[in-house]
Chains A and B, each alone.
Chain A
Amino acid sequence: RKEVEQDPGPFNVPEGATVAFNCTYSNSASQSFFWYRQDCRKEPKLLMSVYSSGNEDGRFTAQLNRASQYISLLIRDSKLSDSATYLCAVIPGNTPLVFGKGTRLSVIA
């Protein structure tokens, strides 16, 4: 089993839709979780850290489920500008970040 597995894409959604991505991790000792956004030919940009209590930033909500070992990202009221690849990332213990393969989102007018 891979360390971090992510929903396969692409997700093509209309503007205004709600879309959710999930990401599972295999190491139960993992302590830190993140969502990054990467635009085409650009660097990954940190979107959100994911905390045990969940966190929200505007239209974006991130959740952590330790029992089932997954994190999720919910985007409400999708905008055209949300089109990008979303990468989940996990720090599995005392090792560097491990990325999922990424999920491509296309928001269509």
Chain B
Amino acid sequence: DTEVTQTPKHLVMGMTNKKSLKCEQHMGHRAMYWYKQKAKKPPELMFVYSYEKLSINESVPSRFSPECPNSSLLNLHLHALQPEDSALYLCASSQVRSGYEQYFGPGTRLTVT
């Protein structure tokens, strides 16, 4: 089973709202990732968690706040977003942080109004 699940599938939020994206995997993977993808561009890495600790933050604005409650779950808390933050947000996981293929969830399509 190489399934990563994400909720919600779609999200529309105003610039003053607070919302959260959720990601779950049950493959026993110890590395989890958040990516942002704009149309016709490759996925752009935002955060990496390795063994439930944040190991990489790619200079992401603080209006995006990741959280890893346990080895299977990854959240992305959103607050005071801008319209340019509208994108597909992808979660991925891999066995460990380096050297292994990543498996992606279906993504959350976020629209900020």
Residues of A in contact with B (beta carbons under 8 Å apart): 31-32, 34, 41-46, 49, 87, 89, 91, 93-97, 99-102
Contact = CB atoms under 8 A, between A and B. Distances in A.
Contacts, number: 44
A1 to B, nearest CB: 17
B106 A34 contact: no
A34 B100 CA distance: 10
Given A31-B99, A94-B98, A96-B48, A43 B42 contact: no
A46 B43 contact: no
Nearest to B58: A96
B90 interface: yes
Interface of B: 2, 33, 41-43, 45, 48, 56, 88, 90, 97-107, 109
Contact of A44 (B43, B98, B99, B109): B43
A99 B38 CA distance: 14
Interface residue SS majority, chain B:
loop
Given A31-B99, A43-B107, A101 B90 contact: no
A36 to B, nearest CB: 8
B45 A96 contact: yes
Given A96-B45, A101-B42, A46 B101 contact: yes
